[in-house]
Chains A and B, each alone.
Chain A
Amino acid sequence: MDSSVTPLVRVSSASVGWGHKTILSGVDLVLRDGDYLALVGPNGSGKSTLLRAILGLAAPLSGRVERSPRWRAGYVPQREGAAQLLGVRAAEVVAMAVPASWMPMSARARRREAAQTALSAVGMTAFAHHVYRDLSGGQRQRVMLARALASEPTVLILDEPTNGLDVGAQRDLLDLVRRLRAERGLACLLVTHSIRIARTEAETVALLHEGEMALGAPADILSEARLAQLYGARALGGVA
């Protein structure tokens, strides 16, 4: 992409963690329009923690995270919190993400329409009027994805979005991201445990391990030798 345009987000020598505990340090990362970055690493290596800092949900312990004015993140969190009590319909959950406008009446119609469009993109039109908390785990995950799309994002931040999705829905999700990138130049930051997905979908891979981040092309970062060292040689046959 055009390097004269300011990047969507620039992370410079940042360290992130919880409380005073540093999980990752020396993180340098730039995400531009249309970039596709996969974030991989073992459980507890700090993938979600890094996403929180990038999203501005938590400040980095040191260093800087600069987001451009064009930054609008569509975020699919790894796990939802405690089960919802509020019996809100799926369409309304999605509509919550539609950017506010100052014309209340037209905004209402626009919100509804944007929610429908996003729900149809994830194949959930039939469930628009179902109560969100009564959906299955995978259906809720799809609604979360629709909500991320409805926010008119310039970047998708997906934390293990294929978690709980059936094979068809996983493929649809990856196709959808690919299409949005091609059509709208959307950037995508994808956390995944699937080495295969990281290899085939992303153009850059960030590997988190022992408090540090290695960044590069999938073939270099996800070399057999490195993976064997990281996950143990035996485990590899299955996932790679």
Chain B
Amino acid sequence: MNDALDVVGLFRFAFAGTLLTALACGLLGVHVVARRMVTAGLALPQVAAFGIALGLVALSHADGHSAHAVEAGLPHVVALVCEVIAVLIIAWPRARAAVGQAAIAGMLFAGAGAVTVLVMAHSALGMEEVHHLVEGNVLAVGRADVVVLASVLIPVIVALALGSRRLISCTFDPEMAATLGVRVRLWQTLFYACFVVTAAVAVHAAGTLFVFSFLVLPGAAGVVLGRSGAGAMIVSAIVAVGGATLGFVASASAWDTPTGPTCAAAVLVLFLGCFALAAVRQRLTPG
């Protein structure tokens, strides 16, 4: 226990960054899962990683002032641009009508993953950096990184929490929401904007594996266990924060394993627990 507190104290910036990332992904995740957008939940972080890789390669060529450029957030910006393009493709009605959203997202996932590796293999940065993109390097998150994460993710978390009623009614039935006077366009844009900026900064800090897992598993736990929109959001938030805390402490103190994958494993265990709980509840429910 003291060990755990020590670890958290020592890596307090990294821990804060992990929790923020987990919570933002968890709140988004309910919508991602309920809208059957899980493949998009895989594709967008992968596209973000591709954008970050492009940004890093560009920086490695622009030697000299590269340190400033990193602080200026070139990788973030490139990731954002790539993701916006990806979202427009995913939401493009004609493509969706032709093969379905999942196939489009799958194509982006495969394409972005492959091109990232190809680009990195030919750059001075090499495959080590690809590993970082997948596994993340949360422990390296310092004060400046937390400021960036917080300035992006806190507004996302606040928007998702305050707008949850409207967003849930858009997720549940967008047509009905529109007939009830909800400005569906606006809320859908807000949702995608949150999705895009979260994936961009979260992948940079925590790696694609962490972001995939936290976009899908807490949301899935919320969907299986929640009995209301708000219930699903709360379950998802608890599972996300719980999984991140367990994984972080385990990786940094007891097990000495990479943080991103350990958190992913922890959140998977929590999800399975919720799934089991839902099954037990089903049996106990009369009728």
Contact = CB atoms under 8 A, between A and B. Distances in A.
B213 interface: no
Contacts of B33: 85
Interface in B173-224: 173, 175-181, 223-224
Contact of A93 (B172, B224, B232): B172
Contacts of A55: 178-179
Interface string B221-246: 00110111100100000000000000
A88 B179 contact: no
A82 interface: yes
Interface residues of A, number: 26
B226 A86 contact: yes
Contacts of A100: 165
Nearest to B35: A85
Contacts, number: 64
B36 interface: yes
Interface in A61-106: 72-73, 75, 77, 80-82, 84-89, 92-93, 96-97, 99-100
A151 B182 CA distance: 12
B169 interface: yes
B265 interface: no
Contacts of A85: 33-34, 36, 223
A86 B180 contact: no
Contacts of B178: 55-57
B171 interface: yes
Given A86-B232, A87-B227, A57 B180 contact: no
* B interface: dominant SS: helix
A195 interface: no
Contacts of B229: 86, 88, 92
Contact of B175 (A57, A84, A147, A151): A57
A87 B226 contact: yes
Contact of A87 (B36, B165, B169, B232): B232
Contact of B176 (A56, A77, A99): A77
A95 B33 CA distance: 22
Nearest to A131: B227
A89 B168 CA distance: 13
Nearest to A97: B180
B224 A87 contact: yes
A96 B173 CA distance: 10
Contacts of B34: 84-86
A80 B168 CA distance: 16
B228 A92 contact: yes
B169 A89 contact: no
B173 A89 contact: no
B223 A87 contact: yes
Contacts of B30: 86
Contacts of B179: 55-57, 73, 75, 157
A84 B171 CA distance: 10
B228 A89 contact: yes
B256 to A, nearest CB: 38
Interface in B110-169: 165, 168-169
Given A92-B228, A131-B227, A86 B175 contact: no
A77 B173 CA distance: 11
Nearest to A107: B165
Contacts of B226: 86-87
A81 B173 contact: yes
A77 B175 contact: yes
Given A85-B36, A86-B171, A86-B223, A75 B228 contact: no
Nearest to B278: A87
A4 to B, nearest CB: 26
Contacts of B224: 87
A193 to B, nearest CB: 22
A92 B227 CA distance: 9
Lowest 3 CB-CB distances: which A-B pairs, in order?
A86-B34, A75-B179, A96-B169
Given A77-B176, A87-B227, 10 more contacts: A56-B178, A57-B179, A86-B229, A87-B224, A87-B232, A88-B228, A89-B228, A97-B180, A131-B227, A151-B180
Interface of A: 55-57, 72-73, 75, 77, 80-82, 84-89, 92-93, 96-97, 99-100, 131, 147, 151, 157
23 contacts: A57-B178, A72-B181, A75-B175, A75-B176, A81-B173, A81-B175, A82-B36, A85-B34, A86-B30, A87-B223, A87-B224, A87-B227, A88-B172, A88-B227, A88-B229, A92-B229, A93-B172, A96-B168, A96-B180, A97-B180, A131-B227, A147-B176, A151-B180
